[in-house]
Amino acid sequence: MDLILISQIIIVCLIGAMSPGPSMVVVINNAITKSRVNGIIAAIAHGIGIAIYALFAVLGIGLIIQTSFLIFNGLQVLSIAFLFYLGVQSLRNTDEIDFEDASIKSGVTSFAQGFAISILNPKIFIWFVAIYSQFMSIDNNLTLNATLVITAGIVDTLWYVLLVYLVTTGMIFELIKSNYRFIHKFIGILFIILSVGLGLNVLINFSL
């Protein structure tokens, strides 16, 4: 397993983690309405949920590869189309996000909130199936598959811990809130670029 492959895995996991949505709201809300520690706890719990979904995706894709390579190829194509769709939806998104949503400030612990917002979101599983189908093959060994799972959890946790430190500085939080739409569109563009790049890679492999 080379550094280029590891870098690719880290980059796609980071793009997924950076995508604004309910997870970002929950982690930021815990950080600014409770404490920095609560935000970090929520971030760690979220990363655990992400790792579990990554594990399910790796196991599921591995089973598909062993069952039918034709189905696996079809999954790759559908996954790339899904990533392109996510990018377009991000560019078109006009929803407002309430980073200080009062409904999140319930008696539920920060850990439970962080874990629940990740593990109860089936879109995350679809995302990992879409992304990791590009890294899976019949030749994958246990080390690579374990790296796919562990990297997803670590990258997600580190991103949200960094976000907690940023938003608890005050000025950075206001900057994120005021530029939320730009961030959403930027991530959308990254999704589209990623899908096009993966699509070209699949076409090259099919032509060989």
Q: Please count the other Cβ atoms lying within 10 Å of the Cβ belonging to residue 21.
A: 17
Q: What's 108's DSSP letter?
A: S
Residues of the chain with pLDDT under 50: 107
CB-CB contact of 39 with 27 (8 Å): yes
State residue 18's pLDDT score: 85
Q: What's 100's DSSP letter?
A: T
- Give, in degrees to the nearest 5, the angle at Cα 176 between 34 and 159: 70
State residue 208's pLDDT score: 58
Kindly give, in sequence order, each residue whose CB lies less than 8 Å from that of residue 155, ignoring residues fewer than 6 positions away: 10, 13, 14, 17
State residue 158's pLDDT score: 96
Burial of 66 (0-12, 13-18, 19+ CB in 10 A): exposed
State residue 40's pLDDT score: 93
> Closest by alpha carbon to 54, among 138, 137, 135, 162?
135
Strands (DSSP E) contained in the chain are none
State residue 87's pLDDT score: 80
State residue 99's pLDDT score: 59
State residue 51's pLDDT score: 94
State residue 161's pLDDT score: 94
State residue 101's pLDDT score: 58
Q: What is the model's pTM?
A: 0.79
Q: Please count the other Cβ atoms lying within 10 Å of the Cβ belonging to residue 41.
A: 23
